[in-house]
Amino acid sequence: MDAKTVENTLTNFCIIFSCRFVVSDGKAEPINEQRPGTTMNSKDITDVVTAVAAFVAMALGMYNFVIERAKRKVQVQVQPKAIMRRVKNPVTGIEGVLASSTEFNTDHLDEYFAIEAVNLSTFPVVIDTIGFQVAGQSTRMTIIQPLVIDGGKWPRRLEPRESVTAYGQLRYILSEPGAAKIKYAFAETSCGVLCKGTSGALKGLTDFARQAQLRA
């Protein structure tokens, strides 16, 4: 229901509500004069209900504006994930991975670290760059030609609610001087919109990098 429909409905309601009826010779006739002991006449009631209708219409108009604006906004959920272990499908023999956004397995480091991007927009977007932003630095740690194991191409076009997981070599990430100060992971669209995300797995990675630097 849009704002105009609500306004018309409430206006009609106030017209009906403001008309009171008396029975004369078996026939209902509306009267608008104020009865003794009342503090509001029908005109006052009409004015109040009309004001309420106008306020509701204005609020709904603003709500519709915000909703329509959100529909035109690029929204990509970015979630860094650590590879916990490798698995193999017993039927097909195809190898896959189990990834976690909450943990970082320091006991068995995998070769890769993952960044998942989910298109929450109402329209398709193209993800063409992923990587990490280091705190206090203007330059970004970009993963060049990330590995995509689902058979798709990179850069990746994502339909609404579609996702892609891109993998970067963990050794390369940890070798960067700013690895211990990574602030968030990012995914950038072809139109230049930068979407950010962090997770427990990313925090585990930065903690591990910090400890490795202290031991060096």
- 130-172: per-residue pLDDT in tens? 999 999 888 899 999 999 988 889 999 999 999 999 999 999 9
| Own/partner pairs, 188-193, CB within 8 angstroms, 24+ separation | 188/127, 188/128, 188/129, 188/130, 189/74, 189/76, 189/125, 189/126, 189/127, 189/128, 190/125, 190/126, 190/127, 190/128, 190/155, 191/74, 191/125, 191/126, 193/74, 193/76, 193/125
Higher pLDDT: 102 or 43? It is: 102
Express as a percent the part of the chain with pLDDT over 90: 51
The structure's pTM equals 0.68
**Average pLDDT in the chain:** 82
Domain residue ranges of the chain, discontinuous segments joined by +: 3-71, 76-215
